[in-house]
Amino acid sequence: MLPVTALPLDELRARTSEKWREYPADVLPLFVAETDFPLAPAVKAALQRAIDIGDTGYIASRNPLAETFAAFAARRYGWAPEPARMRTTADVSMGIVEILRRVVQPGERVIVTPPVYPPFYDLVDEAGAEVVRVPLHDTGTAWELDLDGIRAAFEDGATAILLCNPHNPTGTVHDRDALTALAELADEFGAAVVSDEIHAPLAQPGTGFTPFLETGEAARRVGYAVVSASKAFNLAGLKCAIMVTADDRTSAIVRGLPVEVEWRTGQLGLLAAVAAFSEESEPWLDGLLRTLDENRVLLEDLLASRLPGARYRIPDAGYLAWIDLTALGWGDNPARRILKDAKVALHFGPAFGAEGAGHVRLNFGTSPEILTEAIDRIAALTDR
């Protein structure tokens, strides 16, 4: 299995997506969750074929995505979701909002676990609900779900939780015991668990990623998973995600969504996702995981040698690093100074919740050269 090599900067700058157009060309963009890798060969071939024959209409109601994802889940996670209990939509965010709209009444409360992917706050609001924050518990060496806090929030009337597993920004893969306990808690209170598993294909080997719906009866009763190939395969612009359920009641809720929710799935996104989740793409995905493993360790070495005030824990999954820069004394939002003076764009820590003060989120889904240059530029600020 060959590592997947990121493209060089001059080629990347020809891209016109958010990562490459938000900031001027002298800024190294390590903020938004897009990657700098070429497309997986099977994905590229599927898209090229579609372009060649003008296969750019609506998605077919009979399409192979659910079966393809089920086979991927069986191979990668030992999970056997049923294709008949899946529906597609445009993206994970839309899946979350549409499910929340059905399972939470207007004004009810939905738990989020900060620091967390900033749009979660907006998605709950978009669904007409209110956010209750139950921060992750920082043990000093890891982040964990605060199950006591979640119980208290359910006791206080919260009717759903929006879980992020693997967690953005910390890269935490929640363990089976915590997920099982969460499922049982939600079941006890009749609450829903919406599990965003967009980063799951990027869980590193040995970290034991467990799909929420695979943890047992209680999870199947209360859970909705939303998955996509978009983070691992860099397909966010193509618009395709899958909502997965595992029992009759939850499945009826997702089946009861307006047909338009499914029709908004992008045809190119669907074709790309089928190719991404197919067995043919697995060596590429394994190669990507190897590259990301090297990068997450390289980042640790770079920070230790060049920016020793930074605190970073190697993530279990993905290409996002959550870095505490409090000790550098650059204020609550160090990414502002880093952008202005070092010309490196990172995601603003406070956007993830109050727990993000003094933090930045860095995207290491790039080349070792760009990563090294970014840390060098940031480290140079400490000499000023």
Ligand X SMILES: Cc1ncc(COP(=O)(O)O)c(C=O)c1O
Residues that bind ligand X (CB under 6 A): 33, 91-93, 117, 164, 168, 196, 198, 228, 230, 236, 241
Count other C-beta atoms under 10 Å from residue 116's C-beta. Answer: 25
Q: Specify the residue, 166 or 379, whose C-beta has the smaller distance to ligand X.
A: 166
DSSP state of 381: G
Q: CB 64 → ligand X: shortest distance, Å?
A: 20
Contacts by 16-21 with C-beta closer than 8 Å and gap 24+? Answer: 17/237
Pull the structure tokens for residue 130: 């209110």
Cβ proximity to ligand X: between 163 and 344 the closer is 163
Distance from C-alpha of 168 to C-alpha of 154, rounded to nearest angstrom: 23
Residue whose CB is less far from ligand X, 6 or 194: 194
Q: Are 71 and 245 in contact (CB under 8 A)?
A: no
Q: Which SS3 state, helix, strand or coil, does residue 361 take? A: strand
Q: What residue type is assigned to position 306 of the chain?
A: R
Least Cβ distance, residue 230 to ligand X (angstroms): 5
122 touches 359 (CB < 8 A)? no
Q: Between residues 98 and 214, which has the closer beta carbon with respect to ligand X?
A: 98
Give min distance, CB of 318 to ligand X, in A.
Answer: 8
Decide: 194 and 160 in contact? Cβ < 8 Å: yes
Of 12, 106, 10, 32, give the one whose Cα is nearest residue 335.
Answer: 32
What is the spatial distance between Cα 188 and Cα 249, in angstroms, rounded to a whole number?
A: 16
Residues 6+ apart with CB under 8 A from 260: none
CB of 15 to ligand X, least distance (A): 17
Smallest separation, CB 88 to ligand X (Å): 12
The least distance separating ligand X from the CB of residue 382, rounded to whole angstroms, comes to 29
Smallest separation, CB 133 to ligand X (Å): 16
Identify the DSSP state of 182.
H
Task: Tell me how far apart the 2 most distant CA atoms of the chain are, in Å.
Answer: 62
Least Å distance, CB 160 to ligand X, is: 16
Evaluate whether 197 touches 163 at the Cβ level (below 8 Å).
no
Of the pair 302, 363, the CB lying nearest ligand X is at 363
Q: Which is nearer to ligand X, 234 or 379 (CB)?
A: 234
**Which are the contacts of 228, defined by CB distance < 8 A and separation ≥ 6?**
91, 92, 198, 235, 240, 241, 242, 273
